Amino acid sequence: MTVSRMTEAPHHDGVHGAANRRRRVLMVSPHFPPDTSAGSHRVRLLAPHLARYNWEPTVVSVDPRDYESRLDPGLEALVPKSLRVIRCRAWPHRWTRPFGIGDLGLRALRGIERTCTQLLTQEPFDALFITIYPSYPALLGPRLKRRFRIPFVLDYQDPWVGAWGKSVGGGRNGRADMKSRMTRYLATTLEPRVVRHADAITAVSEGTVAEIRSRVPDVNNTYAAAIPLGGEREDFAYLRTHPRANPYFDPDDGHFHLCYVGTLLPLGFETLRAVLTAVGTLRDVAPAAFDRLRLHFFGTSNLTDPNATQRVIPVAAELGVAERVSEIAPRIDYLDALTVLTQASGVLMMGSTETHYTASKLYPGLLAQRPLLSVYNRASSVVDILASTCRAPSVHVVTYDDLNRAGSKVKEITTALGEMVTSPKFSNADVDFNALAQFSAESLAENLASVFDKVVHQ
């Protein structure tokens, strides 16, 4: 176990759980800066604000030497130096990859358990928080709860059991294969054993909570709270004082650069096809707008491998619009992603046919203050957020559902694209940033602190 940022545990007076001291929470997040994985941001955003609400966090994460993904020192600079972060070692991926094991949660499971056990033995904590993905560290929740009599909160950044291994997977053309089916089998077997012991469940959307309860009816009475993936204004302030080069496009070349940043999910291809079909239609109905338009897709593979397979270009070529599309399949660093968003002529956000889907970059996308086009399943929480806080022409929202699929919305998407390219506008008057403050990291941390308060008083 190594300690970074703070070399000693803070001083505490009184007994465990005493009212005369700030309460303490042990937060397990295997991914954490400088790791550039998407899972690094959940605790990075929430933990620094908990002290404001009388909760002192200690983060347990993995030693940067054991991350397989790319490291970004700039991302680590966004973590306040006052935040206590404890690092543990994981089995090196070069040892486990030959056996088909790359999951950080599995590689770090023993190290996380040893570190948490040592901390809980030596120091007083009032709550345990474990976020997934990766999912396997959640197995420690019931064990640590039982041994140390500590309330356990299980957090879902993504569903533990989703489409992976059922309708999609690592096989040919993204189909389920033996490994993905086995992963799904383990997930369906392990999730009930863990979630039944949780004193509370937090998740990025109400839809995710509903799906958990449909899979595990035993937890229908377990307290649950939807805490979306929010954003941090200070990240943009840091970028202004530490600007990064944009090697992907020239924002001043007279073209309209519409940028999508994020993974293209297996069940998101229908939405992608609708958007690209609309681009082809734009060529026919508004050729001048089509000539100006440039679509850029970044990080579509969710892999850092520079040889990651492109997902968008083959579809664009099939639909005859590849001349207007570029794709960087490997995931780009967080601050590079913010640079793209702030320099884009417009931001594109696309959802999935999975109704639980919520966009982790929704709040950052709005903070970038660029014209925005969103295409989402009507059941996604993103739609409710945008409908209640934003309006055209700054933000265009196109929705679909199971009856009127994304493919039926091509005309509506074409119209929105034409308006954005022909007359790009963004006005703060079109976005209720006061209402959106509820999705700031600080506000969401307050919600999480309320969950901790509740489980302590149960």
Tell me if 301 sits within 8 A of 331, measured CB to CB.
yes
Report whether pLDDT(357) > 70: no
Rounded mean pLDDT, 316-322: 97
Closest CA to 262 of 367, 332, 355: 332
Rounded mean pLDDT, 80-89: 97
Separation of alpha carbons 209 and 193, rounded Å: 16
pLDDT of residue 1: 63
Tell me if 361 sits within 8 A of 349, measured CB to CB.
yes
Report whether pLDDT(76) > 90: yes
Tell me if 48 sits within 8 A of 83, measured CB to CB.
yes
CA distances from 43 to 38, 368, 414, 424 (A): 11, 22, 38, 35
Report whether pLDDT(15) > 70: no
pLDDT of residue 229: 86
pLDDT of residue 451: 98
pLDDT of residue 351: 85
pLDDT of residue 2: 59
User: Helices (DSSP H) in 157-254: which residue ranges?
Assistant: 178-195, 206-215, 233-241
Rounded mean pLDDT, 39-55: 96
Closest CA to 369 of 238, 249, 233: 233
In the chain, the domains with their CATH numbers are 2-157+196-229+441-457 (3.40.50.2000), 234-438 (3.40.50.2000)
| Least confident range of 185-199, 285-299, 360-374 | 360-374
Closest CA to 180 of 100, 267, 68: 100
Closest CA to 447 of 436, 457, 458, 439: 439
Q: How confident is the model at residue 384 (pLDDT cuts 50, 70, 90)?
A: confident
Closest CA to 384 of 358, 361, 412, 404: 358
Q: How confident is the model at residue 21 (pLDDT cuts 50, 70, 90)?
A: confident
Task: Give the model confidence (pLDDT) of 294-318 as tens digits.
Answer: 999 999 997 788 889 999 999 999 9
